[in-house]
Amino acid sequence: MLQASVTIPIAAVNGLLSGPRARGIATPQWISAMLDAAGIAPARLQEVRSRVTPDQYTALFTAIVANLDDECMSHLSRPLRQGSFALMVRSTTGARTVESALHRVADCFGLLQDDVALVVVRDGPLSGFALEINEDASSGENYLHELLLRVFWRLLAWLHGRRLVPRRFDFSYPQPAYAAAYERIFPARLRYTQPRSAAWFDAAALAVPVRRDTQAMQEFLRATPGNLLGPRLVEPATAARVRSLLQQSSRSWPDLMSTSERLHMSVSALQRHLAAEGTSFQTLKDELRRDLAIVRLNSSQVPLATLAGDLGFADSATFQRAFKNWTGSAPGSYRKRPVEASPA
């Protein structure tokens, strides 16, 4: 079975660079060096449909943070030095509930920088946290909001120890052009042009005891930043069943009729359920094949003809046309560059 991986849109990559760009740090040479460290071709930045693998995205984040010694990547008026996030995580030691741990994280974060207040908020049956950002923070477009919402949400989910389901995300800016990508990043109801950017959960979920010990904390920090940055695929029930079946059957790539039969549904019923979830069978199939192709092109030297067959295409030419339609580029441009041999 081919292993799937959800790829990341180029808008998120440009987000990583937005702080250094706003501060005048991101010269062409600097950007080239950062992208090279992550194995991302510079041409990707100009292609609005292009995507990168989670490993490339995490590598770029790591390279930028190390280069700047700043875990917020120049979005704040003074650097958030490396180790700051680990300090916030350790501040939760001994907290009785997830909400009390959140208060500790907010206090620690406030001591480390001056531009953003992390505040605990309530709205009826919901609790969560909001960001109060002052004018000294780098504009950096929207990425500072997106980064902090995602990082603190993932931290709360880890502290919770079970499935912490977000109920709503608020953004203090208008809906961006790349908002379609948010379904993989912020899997909940989204509201734009709100007074503050915020993440909301059931209040009862934040009242549960913290279920993590010191050993678990060390394992969590060793997995950082990949466990904070990578996309989490949270799909409606029917779409998730279709994706799972396609991945399990990826050697044969069943069509719509075969898939509906295996799911014990009529074709019309399957189409109706997927439409209600905002997708279609062909969209799910193409997204899965696109992501598999990008990951394999970046991680191997698999011949295009072999890859085309593995993805269910009749020939290499048909696959190459589909790939360019998905990403705006030929598959060869995503090919992992071979490591040059050292001179004798």
Distance separating alpha carbons of residues 88 and 156, to the nearest angstrom: 12
Selection from 81, 59, 39, 106 nearest residue 338 by Cα: 39
Q: What pLDDT is attached to residue 248?
A: 85
Going from N- to C-terminal start, the domains of the chain cover 8-68, 84-229, 237-331
Element (H, E) at 239: helix 237-248
The winner for highest mean pLDDT among 40-49, 87-96, 174-183, 335-344 is 87-96
Distance separating alpha carbons of residues 144 and 140, to the nearest angstrom: 7
Q: Give CA separation, 31 vs 10, 17, 41, 102, in Å.
A: 14, 8, 11, 35
Query: Which one-letter amino acid corresponds to residue 216?
Result: A
Selection from 10, 11, 25, 7 nearest residue 65 by Cα: 25
Pairing mode, strands 197-202 and 126-133: antiparallel
pLDDT in tens, 5-59: 689 999 999 999 999 999 999 999 999 999 999 999 999 999 989 999 999 999 9
Task: Tell me the mean pLDDT in the region 308-326.
Answer: 94
Instruction: Collect all residues with Cβ–Cβ distance below 8 Å to 155 and sequence separation of at least 6.
Output: 88, 89, 105, 228
pTM reported for the whole predicted model:
0.88
Q: What pLDDT is attached to residue 344?
A: 30
Q: What pLDDT is attached to residue 249?
A: 81
pLDDT in tens, 114-159: 999 999 999 999 999 999 998 766 655 789 999 999 999 999 999 9
Please return the burial class of 158, using the count of CB atoms within 10 Å of its CB with bins 0-12, 13-18 and 19+: buried
pLDDT in tens, 81-111: 999 999 999 999 999 999 999 999 999 999 9
Q: What pLDDT is attached to residue 284?
A: 92
Q: What pLDDT is attached to residue 177?
A: 87
Distance separating alpha carbons of residues 300 and 336, to the nearest angstrom: 7
Distance separating alpha carbons of residues 279 and 183, to the nearest angstrom: 12
Task: Tell me the mean pLDDT in the region 311-323.
Answer: 94
DSSP 8-class letter at 119: E
Q: What pLDDT is attached to residue 185?
A: 82
pLDDT in tens, 232-290: 666 678 888 998 899 888 778 999 999 999 999 999 999 999 999 888 999 999 999 99
Q: What pLDDT is attached to residue 4?
A: 53
DSSP 8-class letter at 288: H
Q: Give CA separation, 151 vs 10, 129, 145, in Å.
A: 19, 12, 10
Selection from 68, 70, 76 nearest residue 30 by Cα: 68
Per CATH, which fold does 237-331 belong to? Arc Repressor Mutant, subunit A (1.10.10)
In this model, does residue 205 exceed pLDDT 70?
yes
Q: What pLDDT is attached to residue 91?
A: 97
Q: What pLDDT is attached to residue 1?
A: 44
Query: Which one-letter amino acid corresponds to residue 299?
Result: S
